[in-house]
Every structure is written in structure tokens, then in C-alpha cells.
Structure 1
Amino acid sequence: MSALERPTEKGTPMSAPSDERTIAHPITLGSPEFMADQHFYYDWMRREAPVYCGRMTLLGDQDVYYVSRYRDCLAVVTDPRIQRVVPGAEPLPLPAALRMLTDHAMIYKDDPEHMRLRKLVSRPFTPKAIGRLADRVDTVTRELLDGMESGQRIDLQQDYALPVPTTVINEMVGVPETDRYRFRGFIEVMVDGIATYGLEMAALKMEGFIDYLRELIELRRADPGEDILTGLIHTCEDGDTLSEDEIIAMVFLLVAAGYETTYNLITNGVAALLTHPDQLSRLKEQPDLIDSAVEEILRYTGTAGSTEPTTYAAEDLTLHNVTIPRGALVLALLASANRDPDEFPDPDTFDIARTPNSHLAFSKGNHFCLGASLARMETKIAIANLIERFPNLRLAVDPEDLRLVPIPLFNRLEGLPVVLG
């Protein structure tokens, strides 16, 4: 039986935090207080309020029900009563350009429409396709490292982690060489735009990206290539094809997930290793632990902290005596679930040989991340090649000086200054 049951009682359990610090309620994900020590808040919620009605920056005073324990998060992401589309639910306050993506992207759909889109777009993510990309990622990382030298100080995020998925995305989408600088500008607006320009201005800039993708679709219709965009244009399942808006939404999703998540995962993984020198030494001595290390990086860093912020209760539900009303936003806090001591012994310990490691970094169920194998592959190759080339790599600043960008549900460092060695 699912951990989510129909309502029997109302009310949100609350009590004072267990240490000397106090918590101002409602807890707001993305606030400076939360970002300064998110795992303090996650720990408190798991113990004291495993279903918590809080807030999120960018959403104002809209209620968001946060689920923080591992087993409950697993129940939420696999429960058919938690849906992307619920008639009458309060929609996210999105401008037209961003609304188009939620109207046509598969992550904002429920079955059977979600499954229809997933079948159509899944072919470029087969193991064979990922294997072909792995050779290219290996080449790109080695070329980047060839341009660096021992003793050099770099921002590993900007100079190494970022170019890897940028190159992969350009080639997967089939962006012509002459357009790649322009395309990167669109990506930067998409990833940083809301934080830099605000929602409305970012959406206006995104309209230029939509117009460019329409041009690119026409180019690939006339001149097909061996790229994902050509594949999306020509994919067919029992006579069903993707509309142009669905293709554009999929490219947006590919950029958002394949670019944003991957370069942050590489950056956060290197940061975790550099701040845990015993684990870095272990990986250098046992390079065959790289697959296990990537899984622990996924669990420990919480790069993507939650499911998509567009999941709603399709009916009144009760969990831990808290009623989640129909139409309310419900988020499974995956970063919290992955530090749940009931599931992971010593959850705050970074252990690259951890086994078992059934983390939820890519979620579970029907909406399991389609690009999980791609992100794993890029991270594995990027970190392995970096450590092989510069085994004495070290932080150029104190660990306490590393700062997170205040974006709710994402753990993105402002930068990662290192000295190569």
C-alpha cells in the first residue's frame, strides 16, 4: 500500500528545532537562511515535520507541501495521484514563452500523453547512442586539459565543467559551428536569466531562442544530420510524430537538464572530492571506483534538490496526519531523501564506495530522468580524466569560501577556484 493515504486528520505537526538555532516559519526554499545551511532544515523537517507546508522564493506566498523522508519521497514520485496537470490547480506564474514549455514538454504531462512523448523522444538516449557520445566527451575533456598546465589557477566550473556539456548539447542538437556562440548566449539566458533579469525579462529573451529553434528545425528538415534534432523531426511511433512546439519544448528540456544539471554535477563532484581528501586519495588509488563515486556524488551533493516544481495532488491526500488538499503543490525533496538516516547509514559521510546506494537523485517511476545515463557518463569521464591528468589538484580557497547561488532546488556553486597539479 502507498505511504500516501486518503485524509483522516488535519493539521501540520510542529515543534521547536532540536538544537539552539531557531527556525522562522514558514520555511522558504531558496531564501538566504535556507541556502546557508539547507541540510539543517532538511534534518529538522525529516524529524519534526516530514510533510511541511512552506514557501519557495519566486512563488511568493503560494503554499508548497514538502515531503522530506526517503520512503515518503519514493511514494510521492511513484503515486499516480500526484500529477502534473490538475484542473483547477493554481498554475505557476509563468510568462507566455515559459508557459509554452509547460504546455508541450513531457515532464509537465501525465500518462498517457507523457508516455506518448517519452516513447517518441527516447530513441536518441539508447545505450548505443550514449556510447557514441562518450568518445566525443573523452576527446573534449582531453583537449581542454591539454590547454592547461600544472600550477595554473583556474575556475574549474567555467574553464572545464561548463564547456563539456556545452559542446555535447551543441552537437546533440546539431547547431552549426557559425551559430554556436549565439546558441551559448541563449543557453546562458535560459539557465541564468531568471536570477539575472527576473522572470518577465528572461521570458522576453527566451522568445528569441524559440524563434532561433524554429529556424534550426527548418534547416534540419531541408538538410538532415546525425543529431537529436533531426531525430526528433523524423521520429515516428505507429504513425505518430512530434509537433514543432513539442520538438522545441524537448530541446529546451534537453538544454535545461543536460546542460545545467551536468556541469553542476561535475563541479559539485570535484568540490566534494577536494573537500574530502581521503576519498580523493582512495579514488586515485582505485580508479575503478569511479562509477561508485559518481553515484555517491549524486546522492551527497544534492545537485537537483527536488522533483519538478509542477506536481500537484489530484485529490485530498494524507501523510503523517497532514492533509494535502487537492490542487496543492507537492514536492519530493530528493536532496533530503538522500540524506535520510533511515535509508543511508552515516548519511552525512561522503563515501565513494557506498553500497548499497539507492539514491533518488534522478527520481523514480514514470518520470525517471531520461538523461540520467548521459549525465552519469559525462561526469564519470570528466572527473576521471581530470584526476588522471592533474592528480595533485587542490582548492585555491578555503572550503568555507565556496558559495552557492541562491536558486531554490539547485545546488550551483558560484565558482570553483582550483590550482592544477
Structure 2
Amino acid sequence: MNEHVQTLTTEPLFNPLSPDFIKNPYPAYERLRDTDPMHVTAFGAFLASRHAEASLVLRDKRFGKDFVERSKRRYGPDIMQEPIFRSMSHWMLQQDPPDHTRLRGLVVKAFTARRVEDMRPRIQQVVDQTIDAIFDHRHMDLIEDFAFRLPVTIICDMLGIPEEHREMFYKGSRDGGRILDPVPMTKDEIAQANMGNAMAKMYFEQLFELRRKNPGEDLTTQLVQAEEDGSKLSNEELTANIILLFGAGHETTVNLIGNGLLALHRNPDQLAILKADPSLMPNAIEEFLRYDSSVQLTGRVALEDIEDLGGKRIPKGESVLCLLGSANRDPAVYPDHPESLDVRRPNVRPLSFGGGIHHCLGAQLARIEAEIAIATLLRRIPDLRLDDADNPQWRPTFVLRGLKELPASW
């Protein structure tokens, strides 16, 4: 009886869409790590909040994505008739080998370290143009006017999206993150996601036509040619994965730049260190990734019975959600004040880009974009101040953690 009363009177350990949690999930993570490191949520998934279990699940072959079965278990047998779910089932992010291996193999060349390194001058040019355009206003929203434009421009470059089509992407809405959250979507939310998916599909089908007629040096041309080969890529896979690359290619980087700038301005001592020694920037980016990850969670499904993971038995078919944001602050891995920002912190290896076969394809690109964006901003607008560093507006999603806006003046 006592236990029952207690569960009724206390907050659930994991309530990821509550405003307090979205504002600051880290105290809840600490409670999870200390009291129930393999917590079972209200909707039946296991939550890995410590670094040891989370990093193991990401790399262990006994876990996979199993997207279709997982979605049916959650929403019922007809869920794959919803266009958004059908589209997501073709994302390489949601695939297991051999399909995952085949799809990733088609795009991996575009993201090699060498290719990305070669993009530095272009990234620098876009950042400088963005600052030039706004400099005399003495005020901007660091998300919409700054952080957003760079990764959208670069992914448009990579996908061969013509200049004259880009305005709609700059003005585009940023409310797509909800489909990734671990709390089931309502009918209305699914309908809205279907609508967004239909619009994206319509645009990219026009782009495919354009690139069939006028091939370029871009990723879309490469994938259209693979689709014509037939054995490599179906039309549905082509469309779904271009939508994935476009979304993944900017969403998380916008958040990395925004969350990093907020963290710096909330920690003026760290901001001063970085301004005094710009060579610390690559390490600072790793620390921003660790300190406030733009992706807070990624999941896997047990492909067989797992007898013991953090003291719990995981039956085949059950989901394990890896709390990347929590693992990144685990004192077992970061014994020296894991809750504080330290741009000089040694051995930072955040789990923010996931791990194993699904390790983020664009990790190196995101790092370089954030590095150039933040370094250039500090150098060119050294007296920039946030209008309100204490109460910024967070987006109401949990998996993709980022700000709605971040007004600043100089």
C-alpha cells in the first residue's frame, strides 16, 4: 500500500514533455542515474541513463532498430499506412543491415573527413555573409538569423538545391522534431507530420526531375543515378532518405550552435577563456556537445533476450532508450564536475553523435560548422550580449534539444 501511495504522490521519474523537464532535464537525469539507472517508463521502454549501458547498447549487435515492428507495438497494426511512418521506415537511421549498409554506402562518400575539410572556405564565407547582412542592425535572433542559415545553406549546397528555391527553406518551419520523441503522438500530431512529409515529398520529386535532366556534382544527382540502377535504391527510399538528409543535415547543427552560445554566455568565465585563446575552439565544441547535447536520446530494440543489462533483463522486442544527455554527464566518465562547462576539459568524448553502425554521418561536418560559426561570431562581434540568458525559450520537443529563439544585441 505504502509504495502505491508513494508512486501516486511523486512526480514520475521521466516526464520528458513537461515544461520543467524541457527547460532543464539534467536534475531528472541525475535522479535516474542514482536511483534507477535502467528505469522502465510508463510506456514500457527501458531507459539507460548511465554511460556504461547507453554506450554498450549503441554498439552491441544484439540490438537493432526494428522500426516497423516497434511502431506496430506502440500504435497498432495499421500504423504503416500513415505516410510519415512509411517514409520513416525507409530512413537509413531506422534501418538494420543489410538495408542500412546499402543505403549508408550510397551517401557516406559525401561526408568523408577530407570532403568536409575542403568545405571550410565555403562555410567561412556563409558565416561572414550572414554576419555582414545583420551587423548594422545591432540586434539579431541568434537562432533564426545566424545559427539556422549556415547549416541550411550547406546542406542545400550538398543536395544541389538551386539558389532560387532556398528562401522557402530559410523561412521553413522548425516543428518537425516531435516525431522522434519517445511519447506516442496524438492523431492530430500524426496528421500534421503527414502534411509536412507530403510537402517535402512534393518539393524533392521536382528536384529529382531537375537532376535527371541536369546532373550536377551533388548528392541528389548521385542518388538519382543509384535509383536508376534499380538494385541500389527504390523511389520511396530515395525520397525518404533525401528528406532525412535535409532534416538531419541542419536541425541538430542549429541546436549545437545555439546551445553552445547559450552555455558560453551563461558561463562568462568560459567565454573569456575562449576569447583569449581561440585555439581551444575544437575542444570547446566537444564540451558543448557533452554539456548540452542537441540530440538527447536515441533508441534500439533488443533483437534477442538480454539476460542482464544494468541489473535488468531485457526481453526480445523491448526498446532501450539511451539518454545521451545523461550519459554525457555521468560522473563515472567525467569525475571532475560533470555538471559544469569547462572548455579546457581533457578527454571529452561525448555520445551526442550516437555510436555503432548508426554513428552520425555528418558528425565532422557539424563540428566544423559549429567551430567556424562560433569562432567567427566571437571574433567579429566581441561585445555581443544575450537579451535574456536566464529564461530562454526552448522548443517543446525533447529528443531534439534546442532553442526557439535567442535574441542578442551588441
* Corresponding residue number in structure 1 for 2:397: 407
Moved more, 155-164 or 128-137: 128-137
Structure 1 unpaired stretches of 5+: 1-12, 56-61
Q: Is the 8 A contact 2:177 2:397 kept in 1?
A: no
Tell me, yes or no, if structure 1 residue 49 matches structure 2 residue 36: yes
| Contact kept? 1:190, 1:206, Cα under 8 Å | no
Q: Which amino acid aligns with 2:197?
A: M
Taking the aligned partners of 2:238 and 2:249, their CA distance within structure 1 comes to 16
Aligned to 1:417: 407
CA distance in 2, matches of 1:187, 1:119: 30
SS at 1:245 equivalent: helix
Aligned to 2:63: 82
What corresponds to 1:342 in structure 2? 332
- Would the aligned equivalents of 2:39 and 2:47 in 1 still touch at CA under 8 Å? yes
Per the alignment, do residues 248 and 281 of structure 1 end up closer, same or farther by CA in structure 2, a change over 3 Å counting? same
Whether 1:70 and 2:59 are equivalent positions in the alignment is no
Q: Give the TM-score of the pair, scaled to structure 2.
A: 0.88
**Out of 301, 310, 316, which is 1:312 matched to?**
301
Partner in structure 1 of residue 84 of structure 2: 98
Shift of 1:31: 2.1
Alpha-carbon distance change, 229 to 23 in structure 1, aligned in 2, over 3 angstroms: farther
Q: 1:359 to 1:26 in 2, by over 3 A?
A: closer
| Partner secondary structure for residue 297 of structure 2 | coil
Question: Cα distance, 1:103 vs. partner?
Answer: 2.2
Tell me how large the CA RMSD over aligned residues is.
2.7
Q: After TM superposition, give the deviation of residue 406 of structure 1 in Å.
A: 2.0
- Cα distance in 2 between the residues matched to 1:253 and 1:129: 20
Cα offset for 1:190? 4.1
Superposed displacement of residue 115, structure 1: 1.4
Residue 207 of structure 1 is matched in structure 2 by 198
- Structure 2 gap segments, 5+ residues each: none
Written as runs of structure 1 = structure 2, the 5 A alignment for 1:21-420 is: 23-25=10-12, 27-55=14-42, 62-85=43-66, 88-91=69-72, 93=75, 96-149=82-135, 152-184=138-170, 188=174, 190=176, 198-235=189-226, 240-307=231-298, 309=299, 311-317=300-306, 318-344=308-334, 345-397=336-388, 399-420=389-410
Q: Aligned letter for 1:39?
A: Y
Q: Which amino acid aligns with 2:301?
A: Y
Secondary structure of the structure 1 residue equivalent to 2:135: coil
Instruction: Give the SS at the match of 1:164.
Output: helix
Task: Give the direction of change, closer, same or farther, for the CA distance of 1:257–1:23 in structure 2 (3 Å limit).
Answer: farther
What SS is found at the alignment partner of 2:102? helix
Q: Which amino acid aligns with 2:222?
A: G
CA, structure 1 residues 284+185, in 2 after alignment: closer, same or farther (shift >3 Å)? closer
Do the aligned partners of residues 188 and 358 (structure 1) sit closer, same or farther apart at CA in structure 2, a change above 3 Å counting? closer
Number of aligned positions between the proteins: 393
Residue 336 (structure 1) shift: 0.1
Q: What TM-score, normalized by structure 1, do the two folds share?
A: 0.86
Contact 2:265 2:385 in 1 (8 A): yes
Aligned CA distance change for structure 1 residues 36 and 175 (closer, same or farther; 3 Å) = closer
Specify the SS of the correspondent of 1:122: helix
Letter of the structure 2 residue corresponding to residue 419 of structure 1 = S
Shift of 1:90: 4.7
CA distance in 2, matches of 1:206, 1:359: 31
Q: What displacement does 1:181 show?
A: 2.7
Distance 1:40 1:50, change over 3 A: same
Asked if the contact 1:124–1:231 (Cα under 8 Å) also holds between the matched residues in 2, the reply is: no
Instruction: Give the secondary-structure state (helix, strand or coil) at the position aligned to 1:154.
Output: strand
Does the aligned pair in 2 maintain the 1:186–1:209 contact within 8 Å?
Answer: no
**Which stretch shows the higher mean deviation, 28-37 or 75-84?**
28-37
Match of residue 7 from structure 1: none
The alpha-carbon deviation at position 412 of structure 1 amounts to 1.2
Match of 1:4 in 2: none
**What CA distance in whole angstroms lies between the structure 2 residues aligned with 1:119 and 1:26?**
40
Contact residue 298 and residue 361 of structure 1 kept, 8 A: yes
Q: Deviations over 1:230-289 (max 9, x none)?
A: 1222359x9953222222222122122111101111111111111111111111111111
Q: Hey, what's the Cα distance between the residues in 2 that align with 1:386 and 1:168?
A: 18
Comparing 265-274 and 122-131, the one that deviates more? 122-131
Q: Deviations over 1:126-183 (max 9, x none)?
A: 2232133322111111011112337812211111111111211222111223322344
Comparing 155-164 with 34-43, greater Cα deviation is found at 34-43
Distance in 1 (CA, whole Å) between partners of 2:329 and 2:37 is 13
Query: For 2:370, what is the secondary structure of its paired residue?
Result: helix
Q: Determine helix, strand or coil for the equivalent of 1:52.
A: strand
**Between structures 1 and 2, the one with greater helix share:** 2
SS at match of 1:380: helix
How big is the shift at 1:314? 1.7
Q: Measured at CA, do residues 305 and 104 of structure 1 come closer, stay the same or move farther in structure 2, by a change above 3 Å? A: same
State the shift of 1:312 in Å: 1.3
